Amino acid sequence: MTGFLQGLWLVVTIDLRQRTRTVAWYVLLGVFVLLVLAVTVLLVFATDALFAGGGGVFSTIVFFVLLLGTLVSPALSANAINGERDSGTLATTQVTLVSTTQIVLGKWLAAWITALAFLAAAVPFLAFAVALGEVPAATIVVATLVTAVELGVVAAIGVGLSGVLTRPLFSVAVTYLVVAALSIGTLIAFGLGGAAVQSEVRATNRSVDWAAVERDGVPPGEEAPCLPSETYTYPTPRFDYVWGFLAANPYVVVADAAPGSFDDQGNPNDVFGWIATGVRQAQHAPELEIEYDECAAWTPSGSIAPDDDWERPQQVYDRSVPSWFVGLGIHLLLAAGALAWAVQRTRTPAQRLARGSRIA
By the criterion CB under 8 A, which residues form the site for other proteins? 1-2, 7, 10, 14, 17-18, 21-22, 87-89, 91-98, 348-351, 353, 355, 358-360
Contact 229, 206 (CB under 8 A): yes
Least Cβ distance, residue 81 to other proteins (angstroms):
14
Conformational region of residue 197, where left means phi above 0, alpha means psi within -120 to 50, and beta covers everything else: beta
Strand partners, 199: 236
Q: What length is written for the chain? A: 360
What three-state secondary structure class fits 214?
helix
Residue 275 burial class via C-beta count within 10 angstroms: exposed 0-12, middle 13-18, buried 19 and up: buried
Least Cβ distance, residue 34 to other proteins (angstroms):
25
Least Cβ distance, residue 114 to other proteins (angstroms):
14
Nearer to other proteins, 92 or 198 (CB): 92
Q: Write the DSSP assignment of 14-83 as a string of letters.
A: HHHHHHTT-HHHHHHHHHHHHHHHHHHHHHHHHTTHHHH-SHHHHHHHHHHHHHHHHHHHHHHHTTHHHH
Conformational region of residue 135, where left means phi above 0, alpha means psi within -120 to 50, and beta covers everything else: beta
Nearer to other proteins, 145 or 353 (CB): 353
Least Cβ distance, residue 43 to other proteins (angstroms):
37
Least Cβ distance, residue 189 to other proteins (angstroms):
39
Nearer to other proteins, 131 or 360 (CB): 360
What phi and psi values does residue 153 have, to the nearest 5 degrees? -65, -45
Residues 6 or more apart in contact with residue 297 via CB below 8 angstroms: 304, 305, 307
Least Cβ distance, residue 359 to other proteins (angstroms):
5
Nearer to other proteins, 7 or 278 (CB): 7
Nearer to other proteins, 3 or 220 (CB): 3
Nearer to other proteins, 4 or 210 (CB): 4
